[in-house]
Amino acid sequence: MHYLITGGAGFIGSHLAEWLLDRGDRVILLDNLSTGSIENIRHLKSCDRMQYHLDNIENRQLLAELVDDADVIVHLAAAVGVKLIVESPVKTIETNVNGTQLILEAACKKKKLVLTASTSEVYGKNTNVPFREDADLVLGPTTKGRWSYAASKALDEFLALSYWKEKKLPVIVARLFNTVGPRQTGRYGMVLPNFVKSALEHSAITVYGSGKQSRCFCDVRDTTEGLIRLMDSRRAIGEVVNVGNTEEITIEDLAYRVKERTCSSSPIEYIPYDQAYEPGFEDMMRRVPSVEKLYALTGFCPHTSLNEIIDRVAAFFQQKTEGIDTHRVAAASAD
């Protein structure tokens, strides 16, 4: 099989590319490096079944050529991270909505399968936990820029499903829940790499808000396997499917867990949301997926424990600091 991955030099994209290459597939990566990094795929460049293009999805001619040459398109390119979303709402909306439209438009001409990545953010302020795929999406007011990301990804879902219903383009929508692991950067506000990095440096671990908000963290290997199994399942076409771990922890407890696992002397500090992001910032208190549908369609559920995830992220940062080939080490630890 031949896969085109947009956002292929990103955190999830690079792991997905690695997995597909390991099983013998051909992979083309498209990334403008706005949030991805060439370092994430440097160890893959010697493989003759992989090629990459440092360009934008908006390059319609290139996109048409890449889509034409692919069997499956995995659309991961998006604005990511709460910090980036709050600081650049225009970029968030334009990147997500325009990019998805261009991908679907190009794929529809040849009826190529498209898996598009959505997010647990679309559930918004829904309090009916665990979140099921047919649950209501409860977003905050348009005056709160924080919800622009959720709204843009919800529109992506509507658009993808409309292409399936109206134009018979095979699509799969995967709602990802807090994917974490080696190669993830804390640059845009991702909580676990920021906590681990601070703990290893013995500097303050910063918790935003009260810390009582809870999340579920999914190892990138589990997310990758979930995505591949969905693409391999004809029954997943036209469906929206949660991909995430169900092990729930508060952000406050996560800070203490990271401190314990890394044997750190870091103090834990609390910063109000208004100070961390913007006045009136809103957040959801719990975000827990139901993965019954994923299991029914693929026979797979994410299973990596949080302790193992923390240890893998800590090992990645330590190896990076020591100048070891982190990609090879991370890949070896997955065996």
Integer Cα distance of 316 and 327 in angstroms: 8
- One-letter amino acid at 65 equals E
In this structure, which amino acid lies at residue 142? T
Shortest CA distance to 54 belongs to which of 77, 83, 22, 21? 77
**44, 14 contact by CB (below 8 A):** yes
Token readout for 259 is 């401190």
Q: Give 322's contacts (C-beta < 8 A, 6+ positions apart).
A: none
- DSSP annotation of 124 reads B
Helix (H) or strand (E) holding 205: strand 205-208
- Any bridge partners for residue 50, and if so which? 27
326, amino acid identity:
T
Torsion of CA 204, 205, 209, 212, to 10 degrees: -140
Please name the residue that has the structure tokens 């190896």.
319
Q: Identify whether the C-beta of residue 287 lies closer than 8 Å to the C-beta of residue 123.
A: yes
Rg of the chain (C-alpha set): 19
Q: 107 with 172: CB under 8 angstroms?
A: no
Task: Tell me how far apart the alpha carbons of residues 322 and 324 are, in angstroms, rounded to a whole number.
Answer: 6
Active site residue 295: no
> Dihedral of the CA atoms 126, 101, 142, 211 (nearest 10)?
50
CA distance from start to end of the chain: 23
Q: Which of 3, 52, 123, 149 is catalytic?
A: 149
Displacement of CA 45 from its chain's centroid (Å) = 22
For residue 71, give the DSSP letter: S
Annotated catalytic residues are 149
